[in-house]
Structure 1
Amino acid sequence: MVGVANQTRVDWVDGAKGIAILLVALAHAVQWTVLSGLAPELWNKINLVFIVFRMPLFFLASGLFAASVITRTWPTLWRTRLSLLVWALLVWTVIRFGYFSLLPNPAGFDETNPIDLLLAPVRPSNGLWFLYALALFFVAAKLMRGRIDWRVQIGGAAVLSVLFFARADTGNIAWNGIGRYFVFFLLGCYLREWIIAFVNRPSRFGALGLGLGFGAAFLALAGVILTVDARVPFITGTLVLVSLLALGAGLLVARFLVDSRAMGWLAYVGRNTLPIYVGHVLFVSALTSLLLLYRGEAWLDRLGPVLPVLVAGGAVAASLLFWRLVRDLPVLRYGFIVPTWFAGRAPGVTSAGQAEPAERMRPRSE
C-alpha cells in the first residue's frame, strides 16, 4: 500500500465492507428476535428491503481487489486466498454444529443435522455460505480469465442474477446466493478502476442523479414490501437494477462516512469482517436466549422496536472482543488463521506449524 490516495481507496472499500457486515449482523438479529417474539414483525419487511444492498455490497467490495489476485498461480491463490476461506468454512461449520447441539436455537433453525454437516464442503446450509461462494467466485474468475471476454462474463452473470432474484431456486441458500451475487463480484473485479475513479472524484451531477435514482427506487421497493405480505422482491428481476443503484450510493456513503472522524471505526470493522462474520450468529443466539428469560418484562417490551439493532451491535462487539482475546492463544487462534499444513508454505518458509494471520490473507489492495 503506497501513498495517501491508495490508503483512501482502501479506507472507503473497508468502510463499505463494514456497512455490509453490520447489515448482515442486523439481518440475523432480526431473524432471531422476530421469530422469538421479542421484536415486531415489521422488522422482517425491513430486512427484505435491504436484500438489494447487503450481500451485493459485500461481494462487490471483495471483487474490487480480485483482478490482481486471479492472475496468481493456483498454488499461490490457494495459499493466499482460498485456503483461509475453505478452512474457516470447515472449522466454523463444526463449531456451529457443536454449539447448537449443546444450546437450543431460540429462533428454531436446525443446524444439528449430521448429513448437512458432512455435505457442508459442497452444499453449505447455514449462514457461512458467503465463504463458500467467495471461494468459488475466485476459482470461476480465474478459470474464465483470458478465455471468456469480461463483458460476456458480466452479461451471463447478470442474466443468472435476474433469474435467481426472480423465480430460480436450487433449494439451497449457498447456490441461490451464488446465482444472485456472482455478477457483483465480477463488476468489482473488471470495473475496478472506473468504480474507484467515480467514488474518489464523483461529479456533482452524477452523484446527485445516482442518489435520486436510488432513493426513488429504494422508496418504491420499500413501499411495495411494507404494504404487501407476499415476498415480492423474489418475483422480479428489477432487483438487480435497484441493487446497482444501491451499490453506487452505498460506496459514496461509505467514502463520506470513513472520511468523517466520528465514523472512522467503520474502516476497522471492514478490515476485520472475518471474525464478525463467523462468530456473530452465535452471539446473536446467546443474547436472544438471555433476553427470553425476561420475556414479559416491561423494559423488554419497550425495547422491542429497537431490539434487533441492540442485539446486532452487541453481537458484533462480542465477536471482535472474542477474536482479540483468542487470536494469540494456542489452538483457539486457528478459528481465525489457517495453519501452514493446510495452506501450504510460501517459497522460502521452512519452519513447521506457522500460520498466516487472517488480516494478511483477506482481500486487500495489492
Structure 2
Amino acid sequence: MVGVANQTRVDWVDGAKGIAILLVALAHAVQWTVISGLTPELWSKINLVFIVFRMPLFFLASGLFAASIIARTWPTLWRTRLSLLVWALLLWTLVRFGYFSLLPNPAGFDETNPIDLLLAPVRPSNGLWFLYALALFFVAAKLMRDRVDWRMQIGGAAVLSVLFFARADTGNIAWNGIGRYFLFFLLGCYLREWILAFVNRPSRLGALGLGLGFAAAFLGLAGVILTVDARMPFITGTLVLASLLALGAGLLVARFLLGFRAMSWLSYVGRNTLPIYVLHVLFVSALTSVLLLARGEAWLDRLGPVLPVLVAGGAVAASLLFWRIVRDLPLLRYGFIVPRWFAAPTRFGHAPRLTSAGSAAPADSAERMLPRSE
C-alpha cells in the first residue's frame, strides 16, 4: 500500500472535481433537452462517450483523501464523513420528491413514486445515487482495511468494473454505479502518493504517452458509439481501460488549467461540488420547462445545437447563487449543514458544512481536502 505523506490541499484536485461536476451537469442538461426535443439527438451519443470520465473522476478524487478517513473510529467516521452523505441523500431525495410532485418533469422521469421514496435509503433511484455509493465505499473500505490486502481489493473491484461496464445489470442505477466505480475510489485511496507525484511532476514522455493513449482510446470509443447502436453491450474491459487513461489525462489537464489565473473559477466550482450536485437538476428541469414555452421560435432553433451547454451553465450558476444566499439562513441552511441531532457536534462546537461531494470541512485539521466555508 502506498502511504499517505501529508494531507494538504491540492488545487488541481479541486480543478478536476470542477471539470467532473460540469460534465455531470452537462449530462443531465443533455438528457432533459434531447428528450424534450429541444436539441439534436447527436448530443445523447456525445454524452455517452463521457461515461469513461465523469463519475470515475469524481470517485477517484474522493478516494485520494480517504486513506486516513477510513483509519478513524466508527463514531468519528460517522461524525466527520458519513453523516454528511446520509443527511444530504435523505434530505434532497425528499426535496426532489416534493419538487417534481408540484412541477411536472419535462423530461418525463418519474421521481414521485412513494415506494421509491421509501426505498431510497437502500435503493436510490434518482441522480443522488452518488452520495449513497460514496457512503458505502467508505464503509466497505474501512471494513476491509487491515483485513484484505489492498491489491486484492483493487483486483476484485477491477473485475466488478469490467462486468458492470460490459453488461451486468442490477436494475438499479445506484447498484450499477457501485459495481462500475468502486475501483476508482480504491485507486485514489491506495495509490494517492503515486498519483500526486505523477501529476505534480509528470515526465514529458509519460505525459505524451498518456495523452496519445487517451486520445486513441477516446476517439475509438467515440467512433464506435457515434456510428453504431449506442446500446451495444461492451463485453471487454475497453471502457475500464479508457477510463484509466481518461483519468490520467484529465488530472494533467486540470493541473495545467489551474496554472492560469483566468481559470481560478474552476477551482472554486470544484470546492463547492455538493451544492451543485444536489441542486442543479432542479434548475435544469426548470430551465427546460421555460424553454419549452418558446418551442418553435426561430431563436430557440438556432440555439438548439448548443442548448445543453447553456442550460448546464445556467443550472450550475443558479445552484451556486442559491447556495450562497441560503447557506447562513435559519432552517434553509440545513440543506447544507448537518443538524447536531443527526451528527454529534465536533469539538469546534458545530456540525460540518457540506462543501464538496464526498468532503466537508473536517472536524480536525489533519486533512484539509477543502477549506472551511465559514
Instruction: Determine if the TM-score, normalized by the shorter chain, exceeds 0.5.
Output: yes
Unaligned residue ranges in structure 1 (runs of 5+): none
Change (3 A) 1:354 1:93: closer
In the TM superposition, residue 229 of structure 1 has moved relative to its aligned partner by 1.9
In the TM superposition, residue 245 of structure 1 has moved relative to its aligned partner by 0.3
Instruction: Give the Cα separation in 2 of the matches to 1:349 and 1:285.
Output: 23
Q: What SS class does the counterpart of residue 306 from structure 1 fall into?
A: helix
Range 127-136 or range 258-267, more displaced: 258-267
CA deviations on 1:235-285 (whole Å, 9 max, x unpaired) are 443100000000000000000011111111111101000100000000000
Give runs of ≥4 in structure 1 deviating > 6 Å.
1-8, 344-366
In the TM superposition, residue 313 of structure 1 has moved relative to its aligned partner by 0.2
Answer yes or no: is the 8 Å Cα contact 1:63–1:189 preserved in 2.
yes
Instruction: Give the Cα separation in 2 of the matches to 1:238 and 1:63.
Output: 23
Answer yes or no: is the 8 Å Cα contact 1:12–1:255 preserved in 2.
yes
Unaligned residue ranges in structure 2 (runs of 5+): 343-348
Change (3 A) 1:13 1:4: same
Change (3 A) 1:288 1:151: same
In the TM superposition, residue 356 of structure 1 has moved relative to its aligned partner by 7.4
Aligned partner (choices 347, 350, 373) of residue 365 of structure 1: 373
In the TM superposition, residue 349 of structure 1 has moved relative to its aligned partner by 19
Instruction: Give the Cα separation in 2 of the matches to 1:70 and 1:293.
Output: 50
Range 183-192 or range 263-272, more displaced: 263-272
CA deviations on 1:210-257 (whole Å, 9 max, x unpaired) are 000000010000011011124236444310000000000000000001
Richer in helix (by share): 1
Aligned counterpart, 2:309: 309
Instruction: Give the Cα separation in 2 of the matches to 1:320 and 1:143.
Output: 35
Answer yes or no: is the 8 Å Cα contact 1:271–1:359 preserved in 2.
no
Change (3 A) 1:102 1:69: same
| TM-score relative to the length of structure 1 | 0.92
Instruction: Give the Cα separation in 2 of the matches to 1:321 and 1:350.
Output: 14
Answer yes or no: is the 8 Å Cα contact 1:224–1:232 preserved in 2.
no
Q: What SS class does the counterpart of residue 350 from structure 1 fall into?
A: strand
Instruction: Give the Cα separation in 2 of the matches to 1:351 and 1:238.
Output: 30
Identical-residue share of aligned pairs (%): 90
In the TM superposition, residue 92 of structure 1 has moved relative to its aligned partner by 0.2
Q: What SS class does the counterpart of residue 9 from structure 1 fall into?
A: coil
CA RMSD in angstroms, aligned pairs only = 4.6
In the TM superposition, residue 333 of structure 1 has moved relative to its aligned partner by 0.5
In the TM superposition, residue 346 of structure 1 has moved relative to its aligned partner by 8.4
Range 226-235 or range 281-290, more displaced: 226-235
Task: Report 1:257-296 matches (<5 A).
Answer: 257-296=257-296
Answer yes or no: is the 8 Å Cα contact 1:158–1:183 preserved in 2.
yes
Change (3 A) 1:195 1:364: farther
Answer yes or no: is the 8 Å Cα contact 1:21–1:273 preserved in 2.
yes
Instruction: Give the Cα separation in 2 of the matches to 1:38 and 1:365.
Output: 38
In the TM superposition, residue 203 of structure 1 has moved relative to its aligned partner by 0.1
Change (3 A) 1:5 1:360: closer
Answer yes or no: is the 8 Å Cα contact 1:337–1:356 preserved in 2.
no
Q: What SS class does the counterpart of residue 6 from structure 1 fall into?
A: coil
CA deviations on 1:38-79 (whole Å, 9 max, x unpaired) are 000000000000000000000000000001111111111100
In the TM superposition, residue 306 of structure 1 has moved relative to its aligned partner by 0.2
Change (3 A) 1:39 1:255: same
Change (3 A) 1:359 1:353: closer
Range 196-205 or range 9-18, more displaced: 9-18
Q: What SS class does the counterpart of residue 196 from structure 1 fall into?
A: helix
In the TM superposition, residue 286 of structure 1 has moved relative to its aligned partner by 0.1
Instruction: Give the Cα separation in 2 of the matches to 1:163 and 1:70.
Output: 27
Answer yes or no: is the 8 Å Cα contact 2:162–2:237 preserved in 1.
yes
In the TM superposition, residue 365 of structure 1 has moved relative to its aligned partner by 15
| TM-score relative to the length of structure 2 | 0.91
Change (3 A) 1:347 1:363: closer
Instruction: Give the Cα separation in 2 of the matches to 1:354 and 1:24.
Output: 18
In the TM superposition, residue 361 of structure 1 has moved relative to its aligned partner by 9.1
Change (3 A) 1:355 1:162: closer
Answer yes or no: is the 8 Å Cα contact 1:81–1:361 preserved in 2.
no
